[in-house]
Amino acid sequence: MCGGPHDTGRFRIRFRFLEDAEPRADAAIPRYFLRMSRSLPVALATIASLALTSPAISQQTKAPIDWDALTSETVQLLSGYIKVNTTNPQGTELEAARFLKHVLDREGIESRILDTAELKPVGRANFYARLKGNGSKKAIALVHHMDVVPANPATWTVDAFSGAVKDGAVWGRGTIDMKAEGIVQLMTMIAIKRSGLPLTRDIVFIGNADEELGSTGAIVFVQRHPDLLKDVEFLMTEGGGNQVDDGKLAYYGVGVSEKRTFWQHLTVAGTPSHASRPTKLNPVPRLVAALDKIGKYETPLHVTAGVEKYFHDIASTFPEPKRGWLLDVKKGLENPQARAWILSDVYWNAILRNTISLTGLQGSNKTNVIPAEASADIDIRLLPDTDPDEFLAMLKRIVNDTAVHFTTQLQPKPPLESPIATDLFRAIERASRERDPNALVTTPMLTAATDRPTYRKLGIITYGFDPFKIEAADLQKGMHGNDEHITVANIAFGLKYTYDVLRYVQ
């Protein structure tokens, strides 16, 4: 693997030099000399000659990045972006797209507001921009969704759409999911342009409408603009899953796969009558019998490639014998004791099998009336390589009652499983380990849904990438919850981290 703490001296030196972004190459070298001379005097001559002869360095240092200033600018921009209320339903992402376009116009980066006629109702849009590289490698896309879920003012202590900056954080709906990531992507692209970093890959920036409801933004974008995506090799968006507990990083998570939502609505028809005289045409017991069979059914365990790597990676953080069980999770699951322990974790259980949760249930609204219909809702989440039709057929066989009708509520998105041995994965590993030398960089599966499958369908390698280190407790509370916020420290971290990933993937 390329990069990381054991890199060659040359790479480490280049990295530090670039990251520090001295004012000019000629002015930078003496300062660099001074710093290095304290720790590595013998290597000075070599270092200086490398620094002077690298074309990448001389181009880079033409316009250095002032990270503190960039962070302040990003905080202000995010505050403004939060004020653009894109609550979905409605969405009104057109306003958000105009906001982004205004920023990029100032920077001289080409951008377009798209799909305003196709996205319903009025006031919706997708957004697209591109920063050109030299074209020697394929493009990389940074994608975020511009819409947010509703915020209930009664349960917030700050105005969810004021974009307040206080107590070292930006507050408001969308700061975690996912306007901060979008603005960090935008500002990283702008920083790259300003700094003159040489690009082998174009950087594509996309803002989608409607991720939180029907995903129509990404679906329409992919249908209508395959030309804008045809040279895109990699895509990064939400769905990574960096795990931070009590200030300690457990791992950097790169999302290479996610489960597929496959919701079912079940109905049984009956004949309404007075409940004082029971009949065989009451739909309620029939539905309950079907649900009982489904509820008792245990879906088989199945280990996908990304999940296998995830368990293998995190094994080292557990004592024996658990370490051994996770190191080879397929084998571990054959051991009854190990299996019981692994499946007792609700997240681990959910990434090792297709899951079924019985959730909604409707019968009669009066105790003394046998209803005309009974119905139920089932939340099914499929592993990426499960065929939905086959799964549904299997479910019908288990129920074994033709009176029970199944309706698929939302067509499942295409399956998402991206390869791991890629330049982008290696770039993320390198940037991560520079920040946390012993960090695990692993591939947890997302049990929720994102827009990634829609892009993956085109063959684009799509990763969930979180540029922040957010406490697990804050993530749980803020995402779709109350008092959502992101710290300024996290924004500063995210800018440099994203910048480095984009630099290393060139």
Q: Which residue is nearest to Zn ion (CB)?
A: 177
Residue 171: CB minimum distance to Zn ion, A: 18
Q: What number of chain residues touch Zn ion (CB under 5 A)?
A: 3
Piece in contact with Zn ion (CB under 5 A), picked from 93-101, 106-114, 169-177, 457-465: 169-177
Piece in contact with Zn ion (CB under 5 A), picked from 136-144, 176-184, 263-271, 340-348: 176-184
- Exactly one of 22, 115, 177, 451 binds Zn ion (CB under 5 A); which one? 177
How far apart, in whole angstroms, are the C-alpha atoms of residue 88 and residue 96? 13
Residue 463: CB minimum distance to Zn ion, A: 15
How far apart, in whole angstroms, are the C-alpha atoms of residue 302 and residue 142? 31
How far apart, in whole angstroms, are the C-alpha atoms of residue 449 and residue 217? 14
Contact 329, 353 (CB under 8 A): no
Residue 360: CB minimum distance to Zn ion, A: 24
Residue 326: CB minimum distance to Zn ion, A: 29
Binding string, residues 452-491; x marks residues near Zn ion by CB under 5 A: ----------------------------------------
44 Cβ neighbours under 8 A, 6+ residues apart: 33, 36, 37
Q: Is 197 in the site for Zn ion (CB under 5 A)?
A: no
Nearer to Zn ion, 238 or 483 (CB): 238
Piece in contact with Zn ion (CB under 5 A), picked from 1-9, 118-126, 177-185, 453-461: 177-185
By DSSP bridging, strand 232-237 and strand 139-145 are: parallel
The secondary structure element, H or E, covering residue 25 is helix 25-39
**Among candidates 292, 188, 110, which has minimal Cα distance to 502?**
188
Piece in contact with Zn ion (CB under 5 A), picked from 54-62, 134-142, 175-183, 480-488: 175-183
150 Cβ neighbours under 8 A, 6+ residues apart: 87, 88, 173
Residue 446: CB minimum distance to Zn ion, A: 11
How far apart, in whole angstroms, are the C-alpha atoms of residue 496 and residue 117? 37
Segment 17 to 46, residues that bind Zn ion, using CB under 5 A: none
- Exactly one of 28, 82, 140, 178 binds Zn ion (CB under 5 A); which one? 178
Piece in contact with Zn ion (CB under 5 A), picked from 7-15, 231-239, 427-435, 468-476: 231-239
Contact 211, 451 (CB under 8 A): yes
> DSSP alpha helices (H): ranges in 65-224?
67-83, 93-107, 179-195, 216-224
Piece in contact with Zn ion (CB under 5 A), picked from 60-68, 135-143, 235-243, 410-418: 235-243
How far apart, in whole angstroms, are the C-alpha atoms of residue 359 and residue 17? 56
Piece in contact with Zn ion (CB under 5 A), picked from 62-70, 172-180, 402-410, 432-440: 172-180
**Among candidates 71, 94, 80, 77, which has minimal Cα distance to 161?**
80
Residue 180: CB minimum distance to Zn ion, A: 11
By DSSP bridging, strand 232-237 and strand 461-465 are: parallel
Contact 304, 417 (CB under 8 A): yes
Q: Distances in Å between the alpha carbon of 203 and those of 60, 129, 190, 256?
A: 17, 8, 10, 20
Nearer to Zn ion, 238 or 434 (CB): 238
Residue 145: CB minimum distance to Zn ion, A: 6
Residue 179: CB minimum distance to Zn ion, A: 9
- Enumerate binding residues for Zn ion (CB under 5 A): 177-178, 238
